[in-house]
Amino acid sequence: MADMKTREAAFHRSARGALVAAVLVTALAARGLAKIPAPATSPGTAAGASIERGRYLTHDVAMCVQCHSPRDEKGRLLEGQEFLGAPMPIQSPYPSSARFAFNAPNIRELARSHGDSVVRLLRTGIDRNGKAADLPMPPFRMNAEDAESIVLYLRSLN
């Protein structure tokens, strides 16, 4: 009987230990995320960055255009209004506690006014406010060339 008690106590101790470890790991992971260093971010300085590459990435690869652009009543992208921002045409498939954005902002404007933070976002997933951008914005991990190409391209649109 005493033996059972001892074993039970040992179990509780190790369960508590595991919980503390889990919390610590999560906290450290969160700190690690917040500490991702902001890369050097002057759009246009990476070797090979180009407007044409930015067009290709935003339209054909990373599909920014699909979320960040307004559509007509048939769901077709409105020509000439690409990247000017749009509501998310979907409901959140995540548990209600997960943060989810119902609006994709005007990224022509953001590329112009906050180019450095757009580059940082595309390279680290961290937004202007220093947090991970809300879903469904994908957490991109682009290289400098790609991120800067996108900012150059968005700035080239009038």
Looking at this protein, which amino acid is placed at residue 25?
V
Rounded distance between C-alpha atoms, residue 148 and residue 41, angstroms: 8
Nearest distance in Å: CB 105, ligand HEC: 5
Binding span for ligand HEC by CB under 6 A among 1-9, 13-21, 36-44, 129-137:
129-137
Residue 133 or 157 with smaller CB distance to ligand HEC? 133
DSSP 8-state symbol, 86:
E
- Residue partners of 128: CB distance under 8 A and separation at least 6: 114, 117, 121
DSSP 8-state symbol, 100:
B
Residue 144, interface with ligand HEC (CB under 6 A)?
Answer: no
- Residue partners of 79: CB distance under 8 A and separation at least 6: none
69-88 binders of ligand HEC (CB under 6 A): 88
Nearest distance in Å: CB 133, ligand HEC: 4
**Residue 132 phi, psi (nearest 5):** -65, 135
DSSP characters over 7-30: HHHHHHHHHHHHHHHHHHHHHHHH
Which one of residues 46, 110, 144, 152 is an interface residue with ligand HEC (CB under 6 A)?
110
Residue 18 or 123 with smaller CB distance to ligand HEC? 123
Residue 51, interface with ligand HEC (CB under 6 A)?
Answer: no
| Residues within the interface to ligand HEC (CB under 6 A) | 58, 62-64, 66-68, 88, 101, 104-105, 107, 110, 117-118, 121-122, 127-128, 133-134, 136-138, 140, 150
